[in-house]
A and B are shown apart, each in its own frame.
Chain A
Amino acid sequence: MELELRDVSKHFGGIQALNGVSLRLSGSQLVGLIGPNGSGKTTLVNTISGIYKPDDGEIILNGEEIGRLKANEVTRRGVGRTFQVTRAFRRMTVMENMLVPALAVPSDRGHREIKERAREILSFLTIDHLRNDYARSLSGGQQKLLELGQLLMTDPDLLLLDEPFAGVHPKLMETIFEYITTVHAQGKSFIIISHDMSSIFTLSQRLVVLHYGDIIADGPPDIVKEDPAVIEAYLGEDEDD
């Protein structure tokens, strides 16, 4: 997997959400994306995943410019994402939720194989027993697990997780940790947005810090932590977690 952002900009009305962001990601990395509220983290994930089109700049995935593609086309090219506020299909069962991405993205798996795989993933995420329940009857944390499960159904190479730990019960948190480390060990890359500093420091090999739409630091967590610009950016900011 090779992802490169070149001078990506995005603004809404007068607000500059991304200000010429450049970023390279190759091989199998686990990147933490942090920054104060409103620094453009979710906008960045939305732009990579095709929900937004960048105003300027290029997004290149494995040699192909994907900045103009629709979200479903980006997903087909091996990028999966979760949403900050979960967006599982509420009035569909858990199993149906898993089938949507599996059937939407072409693969050579048969129907039976797809269902088996869905159950395997659901078991791994500890929610297999809920597979015939409507997604809306799941707890917030379980819906997060379901979204993580949906991602794996399309075999992505790059997973973009938006606040995977926010508001999750500690018990489910462990499952999410295990998910990330296991999937990462299979050679997949992650970009994880989080306000949960201790989790993100433990997990990631590389931290990227956004501030008012600019990348102000990028490097190993230990070094970034000491960066004066980062400390400055976070000063006066109420830490959520």
Chain B
Amino acid sequence: MTTYAKSTGRRFWFRPQWAAALVALVIALLVPLYLQIHSPYWLHVLIVAYFYAILASSWSLLAGYAGQFSFGHMAFMAIGAYTTGLIGRLVRLTTAPTGMCAEIPLPGRDLWLVFINTVGDNCLELGKVNMPAGTLIYRPPILSGIILGALIAGLAGLAIGALVLRFKAAYLALFTIAFSEILRTLIRGEPQITRGDHGLRVAPLFPQTISRVPDYYTMLAILVASLLFMYWLASSRVGLFLRAIREDEEAAAARGVDVVRYKVLTFVITSMLAGLAGAFFAHYITILSPNIIVLPQMGLVIAMAIIGGVESLAAAAIGGMIIQISLELLREFEAWRLVIFGALLILTLRFARNGLLAPLLQRLSGTVPRAESREEASQAELGEEVGA
């Protein structure tokens, strides 16, 4: 797709922001070499920081580009996480039918997709008696769970988006806040399926090693891939339409933009990204509880995006990392840390609407729009022109 973002005339790779990103990436790639030996715990902190960076930046694509405010981002993350977790718990592949479980033969292969019941005796155990000797039972590949997790998060996003995005922005906020709280109640209220507050065990992504390095690189790869994808999207015609929608929905429609369609599209994409991040994260922390969707968690992601700068994907991502790392550094302040970030969120909204990092990044990369820096100058020029 052609890029419609304003070009500065320089070639892609020579722009300072890309050079800076490249340097940051190299550092991120080298960091584990040091941390692995000296401070494996900080490797964990960084993995969590990358996880939050994905959430904060995908939230900012929805909020900062499309002007749609969802309070359900963590719920979509949880959908991704629980989908892959539940598949690992309740779905098996067998080389022979159990005769006891709900099961589907997979076409073309001697494999059965088996769904384990959640009430009563375990049907797989019961079925083993009848299954021929040498029958193999596999867990479905983790990757399939992760992909399904992202897809189901996207489907939930599609259903909610199609219902709510026809209305004013406040309705999305209202509906998603309700959705996210109710999803939490349901996960908690169906312990036979989700294990509720006991926590759902999830298989680790790299069972062969106790080192966190593979997880680190995986999370980093997802972060980089989702940032690249979102930048590509934002610089395509979709990004252009989203910004128009954000400026003025009615005017965008009058200029031919199918407003609802692009809002829903963005909502689905960002929900999928949240689901994807959640699914990977589930296999990293290996235990899930309904508390991952509590509203303070959502508030934290929003604080990251806003304090970083909601209109810049990179600023939101960096904001996410910085805040996550600060939370770690400020451990001794315990619960007061979040009070501080809450206050900072409110003050940033009121006094630095573009966030604390985004203006800094803009200055560094020299992408301050011409008109921004010389708004007054251009007004003066205009006066002359009219007077001439």
Chain A residues in the interface with B (C-beta under 8 A): 49-51, 70-72, 75-76, 81, 83, 87-93, 95-96, 99-101, 103-105, 111, 130, 132-134, 136-139, 142, 150, 154, 169, 171-172
Contacts and interface: CB of A to CB of B under 8 A. Distances in A.
B253 interface: yes
B247 A91 contact: yes
Given A91-B243, A92-B244, A133-B378, A104 B4 contact: no
B370 interface: yes
B240 A101 contact: no
B12 to A, nearest CB: 16
Contacts of A95: 6
B371 A134 contact: yes
Main secondary structure, interface of B, reads helix
Nearest to B258: A72
Nearest to A83: B251
B332 interface: no
Most A-side CB within 10 Å, residue of B243, B244, B258, B375: B244
Contacts of B27: none
B185 interface: no
Contact of A71 (B2, B247, B254): B254
A50 B382 CA distance: 35
Contacts of A103: 4, 237, 240-241
12 contacts: A71-B253, A72-B259, A75-B253, A87-B254, A89-B244, A92-B244, A99-B237, A104-B257, A134-B372, A134-B375, A139-B379, A171-B386
Given A75-B256, A93-B371, A142-B382, A51 B250 contact: yes
Contact of B241 (A87, A104, A172): A104
B6 A93 contact: yes
A51 B369 contact: no
Given A87-B251, A137-B379, 9 more contacts: A51-B250, A75-B255, A88-B251, A89-B247, A100-B240, A130-B378, A133-B378, A136-B375, A139-B386
Interface string B8-19: 000000000000
Given A132-B6, A132-B370, A133-B371, A70 B254 contact: no
B255 to A, nearest CB: 4
A100 B252 contact: yes
A87 B259 contact: no
A154 B255 contact: yes
Interface string B227-266: 0000000000100110110011011111111110000000
Contacts of B379: 137, 139
Contacts of B248: 87, 89
B386 A99 contact: no
Contacts, number: 107
A92 B247 contact: yes
Nearest to B372: A134
The 5 closest A-B pairs by CB, nearest first: A104-B256, A133-B371, A71-B253, A134-B371, A87-B251
A51 B254 contact: yes
Most A-side CB within 10 Å, residue of B2, B371, B379: B371
B386 A169 contact: yes
Given A72-B253, A72-B257, A171-B386, A90 B247 contact: yes
Most B-side CB within 10 Å, residue of A93, A103, A105: A103
Interface of B: 2, 4, 6, 237, 240-241, 243-244, 247-248, 250-259, 369-372, 375, 378-379, 382, 386
Contacts of A89: 243-244, 247-248, 251-252
A136 B258 CA distance: 24
A154 B257 CA distance: 11
A104 B375 contact: no
Contacts of B255: 72, 75, 100-101, 104, 150, 154
A101 B371 contact: no
Contacts of A88: 251
Given A83-B251, A96-B6, A99-B240, A133 B257 contact: no
A169 B382 CA distance: 11
A205 B22 CA distance: 63
A226 B172 CA distance: 54
A70 B249 CA distance: 12
A71 B250 contact: yes
B65 to A, nearest CB: 11
B359 to A, nearest CB: 14
A145 to B, nearest CB: 12
Given A87-B248, A96-B240, A99-B240, A75 B6 contact: no
A92 B386 CA distance: 23
Contact of A96 (B4, B250, B259, B378): B4
B256 A105 contact: yes
A101 B379 CA distance: 26
A70 B253 contact: yes
A100 B375 contact: no
Contacts of A99: 4, 237, 240
A133 B381 CA distance: 13
Most B-side CB within 10 Å, residue of A51, A90, A91, A93: A91
A138 B371 CA distance: 9
A83 B248 CA distance: 12
Given A72-B258, A103-B4, A104-B241, A134 B251 contact: no
A125 to B, nearest CB: 13
Contacts of A50: 253-254
Nearest to B247: A89
B379 to A, nearest CB: 7
A93 B251 contact: no
A93 B244 CA distance: 11
